[in-house]
Amino acid sequence: MGLDIRLPIGLMFGIFGLLLAGYGLATSGSDLYQRSLGHNINLTWGLVLLAFGGVMLWLSRKGGK
Amino acid sequence: MPQGIELGGIDYVILVIYFLFVLGIGWALRRQTKTSEDFFLSGRSIPAWIAGLAFLSANLGAQEMIGMAASGAKYGIATSHFYWVGAIPAMVFVGVFMMPFYYGSRARSVPEYLKLRFDEKTRGFNAISFAIMTVFSSGISMYALAKLLHLLLGWDFNVSLWVSAAIVLAYIYLGGLTSAIYNEVLQFFLIVLGFAPLVFLGLENVGGWSGLVAKLEGVATAGGYAPGAWSHSWATMGSPAANPMGVEWFGMVMGLGFVLSFGYWCTDFLVVQRAMAANSMAAARRTPLIAAVPKMLFPFLIIVPGMIAIALTHAGAGFSLPKMADGSWDYTMVIPQMLAHYFPPGVLGLGLTALMASFMSGMAGNVTAFNTVWTYDIYQSYIKKDATDAHLLWVGRMTTVFGILASVGTAYLATQFNNIMDFLQLVFAFVNAPLFATFLLGMFWKRATGHGAFLGLVLGTLAAAAHHGLTLPAGAPVGIKGGWLAAPPMHAYSSEMAQNFWTAIWAWSVCFAATIAISLVTRRTKTDDDLRGLVYALTPRPKEEHLPWWKTPEGMGAMVLALAVLLNVIFW
């Protein structure tokens, strides 16, 4: 089919993950997180997205040999 | 008024990256779209898991996200009936029993199947009503998105409308259905991963599942219902007065679970097109079965936030839904309001992008279904019969442009005349209600004739209109809600939902009976040979006997159904 959809999915969520986790680290302890009940949701969820993106990228490499 | 959302720089960055990926996918696919079948059916090359997620995502439009979250607040966990009763069985049925005819007949659209199985007029009736309906749905979806963006972010209505329309246009124009399907898969993951933190934070805030159930008891008793009315899906279904939906189990199971659900999942080209694009019969049959698994879990993602929102609002515990002008809660604001309340900049951009993705996937689903039906079933059938394939591909692209412009026009119409929209949606509901009877008889009874099918559909549609005109939901004014045929109305339903379900039941029954009766007195115009591959008794079963039972479509379907039953029991 030419394009393996797992590649753009992996890339996009990988980028989102890096952005959120990076932003979460930079804003750690800030008042922002009163909204999210004290959790640094950007850091946590950024890592989750990064892991998801990584799995997708790995699958696309494995599948597209 | 809902709480406004202030976006930070990071939120805009996420939104822009998403748009770049969406457009990039269209761009990457532009060279592979060489024939009309590439454009309209992805060259029948899509693997099962991708088709399955797209099958689900195409349905995950604005109405779904906003509407089901709103219903979660209004009716509680009983909203799950729209999933565990009103979707899963039909999805299993279309995969196991119907896909052999859709895919096996090589029909390029659902109306084309009707042409092969019955005759031209049945196809024409279905194609034309479907084409108009998709343009309107896509327009209403755009209108809702632009209005929401204006309300929440203060963005200009016109800019929001045209920009979202232009993005959807660009990626479908370039890559056709493949582009729409790929983006639907991307959107699926975005929606799940964008809203999941909302559920976690909301649940923590409300004190976990037990805290939620306890607070919902307050909501239920304040409304005059039994304490469990918001946290049990079946326990209060015995009588319409006992639950906030105002429906009883029989009307719900037959109207929603059978007529409306099978009518949508089994005959609506918007979803069926995704399965027709699959790369093999085996993949086409698995498409709806794969889709059924996440579909089953969506109540936790979409309905639970609504339940949390109403529980917290009622308990006065920090979070509150906004009120409408008349003082009642604005349930449609559940998701946007929770995003604004719980998400700091960062995940806020992700959640908002997920919301936009859901609008865009619903819009794109309608547009791709529209351009296919228009090009194959209307243009090629009635306007230019000898069109070359290259010409059809060109028409498809032009139709995409036209369809999007028409949707934008519809969106503007909706800003001016909300009543017209309500009226049109009502008419479409009448046309759709009897459809599944026609397909059921067409696929499983070779004696059903073209005249029978066509007149059955017309009579079923009229029956729906008549039932609507003769009845009225309690407390509603005569007019668009019903009662316009008889004063006083012959029957008063306890809610609009109950009236809808029974309208569907009547329409289906009349169509079913009329199609049988008229078929018996009209001559067959199609021989057994003509119907090979189109009717159950004349089609060899697709065999996949080298597989263990749990890998066959039947085995997968049985497991999916068992899981759905289990969920119903757990939340009984």
This complex has an ipTM of 0.95
pLDDT digits (tens, 9 = 90+) for B345-379: 999 999 999 988 888 888 888 999 999 999 999 99
- What is the distance in angstroms between the Cα of B308 and the nearest Cα belonging to chain A? 15
What is the Cα–Cα distance from B29 to B178, expressed in whole angstroms?
8
Residue of chain B whose alpha carbon sits nearest to that of A11: B21
Residue B1 has pLDDT above 50, yes or no: no
- What is the distance in angstroms between the Cα of A28 and the nearest Cα belonging to chain B? 12
CB contact under 8 A, B205 and A37: yes
H runs (alpha helix) in B207-316: 208-222, 249-251, 261-267, 269-276, 281-298, 304-315
CB contact under 8 A, A48 and B193: yes
- What is the distance in angstroms between the Cα of A3 and the nearest Cα belonging to chain B? 7
Of B13, B24, B45, the CB nearest to A8: B24
Q: Can you give the pLDDT at residue B459?
A: 95
- What is the distance in angstroms between the Cα of B323 and the nearest Cα belonging to chain A? 21
**Residue of B53, B338, B348, B350 best to disrupt the A interface, most CBs of A under 10 A:** B350
Of A3, A13, A24, the CB nearest to B346: A24
Q: Which residues of A touch B342 (CB under 8 A)?
A: 35-37
What is the Cα–Cα distance from B169 to B359, expressed in whole angstroms?
14
Number of domains in chain B: 1
Which tokens is B416 given? 């001016």
Read off the pLDDT of each residue in B433-450 and give the average, rounded to a whole number.
92
Q: Can you give the pLDDT at residue B460?
A: 94
pLDDT digits (tens, 9 = 90+) for B266-277: 999 999 999 999
Which tokens is B315 given? 């308990």
Read off the pLDDT of each residue in B285-293 and give the average, rounded to a whole number.
94
Of A1, A19, A33, the CB nearest to B14: A19
Which tokens is B220 given? 């239920």
Q: Which residues of B touch A20 (CB under 8 A)?
A: 10, 346-347, 350
Least confident of B80-84, B358-362, B444-448, B554-558: B358-362
CB contact under 8 A, A5 and B29: no
Q: Which residues of A touch B24 (CB under 8 A)?
A: 8
CB contact under 8 A, B344 and A13: no
Residue B28 has pLDDT above 80, yes or no: yes
Q: Can you give the pLDDT at residue B3?
A: 61
CB contact under 8 A, B182 and A12: no
What is the Cα–Cα distance from A56 to A54, expressed in whole angstroms?
5
Q: How confident is the model at residue B391 (pLDDT cuts 50, 70, 90)?
A: very high
- Residue at B84 is within a domain: yes
Q: How confident is the model at residue B2 (pLDDT cuts 50, 70, 90)?
A: low
What is the Cα–Cα distance from B272 to B40, expressed in whole angstroms?
13
CB contact under 8 A, A27 and B46: no
Of B25, B182, B344, the CB nearest to A36: B344
Read off the pLDDT of each residue in B169-189 and give the average, rounded to a whole number.
92
A&B contacts, CB < 8 Å: 88
CB contact under 8 A, A20 and B350: yes
What CATH number is associated with residue B276?
Answer: 1.20.1730.10
Q: Which residues of A touch B32 (CB under 8 A)?
A: 1-3
Say what percent of chain B tops pLDDT 90. Answer: 47
CB contact under 8 A, B343 and A3: no
Answer yes or no: are the C-beta atoms of B291 and B461 closer than 8 Å: no
Rounded to the nearest 5°, which phi and psi values hold at A53? Answer: -60, -40
Of B28, B186, B201, the CB nearest to A36: B201
Read off the pLDDT of each residue in B432-440 and give the average, rounded to a whole number.
91
Q: At what angle do helices B347-372 and A41-63 cross, to 10 degrees?
A: 40
The secondary structure of residue B245, as a DSSP letter, is T
What is the Cα–Cα distance from A36 to B206, expressed in whole angstroms?
13
The pTM (predicted TM-score) of the whole model is 0.91
What is the Cα–Cα distance from B415 to B398, expressed in whole angstroms?
26
CB contact under 8 A, A42 and B344: yes
- Nearest Cα neighbor of A25 from A45, A11, A10 is A45
Of B13, B204, B341, the CB nearest to A35: B341
**Amino acid letter for position B475:** G
- Residue at B488 is within a domain: no
Residue of chain B whose alpha carbon sits nearest to that of A28: B344
Residue A65 has pLDDT above 50, yes or no: no
Q: How confident is the model at residue B89 (pLDDT cuts 50, 70, 90)?
A: very high
| Other Cβ atoms closer than 10 A to B555 | 16
pLDDT digits (tens, 9 = 90+) for B186-236: 999 999 999 999 999 999 999 899 999 998 888 888 888 888 888 888 888
Is there a cis peptide before residue B488, judged by omega within 30 degrees of 0?
A: yes
The verdict on B18 touching A (C-beta cutoff 8 Å) is yes
Residue of chain A whose alpha carbon sits nearest to that of B348: A42
Contacts of A65 (CB under 8 A, 6+ apart): none
Q: Can you give the pLDDT at residue A64?
A: 58
What is the Cα–Cα distance from B255 to B499, expressed in whole angstroms?
10
Rg, C-alpha atoms of chain B: 23
Residue B139 has pLDDT above 80, yes or no: yes
Q: How confident is the model at residue B67 (pLDDT cuts 50, 70, 90)?
A: confident
A 16-55 → B contacts, CB under 8 A:
16, 19-20, 23-24, 27, 32-33, 35-37, 39, 41-42, 45-46, 48-49, 52
Q: Which residues of A touch B205 (CB under 8 A)?
A: 37
Q: Tell me which residue range forms the domain holding B176.
A: 9-18+47-416+541-570
- Residue at B321 is within a domain: yes
The verdict on B282 touching A (C-beta cutoff 8 Å) is no
pLDDT digits (tens, 9 = 90+) for B312-344: 998 887 888 888 888 888 888 898 889 988 999
CB contact under 8 A, A49 and B193: yes
Kindly list the domain boundaries of chain A, sorted by start residue.
6-63
Q: Please, is B398 exposed, middle or buried when counting C-beta atoms within 10 Å of its C-beta (0-12, 13-18, 19+)?
A: middle
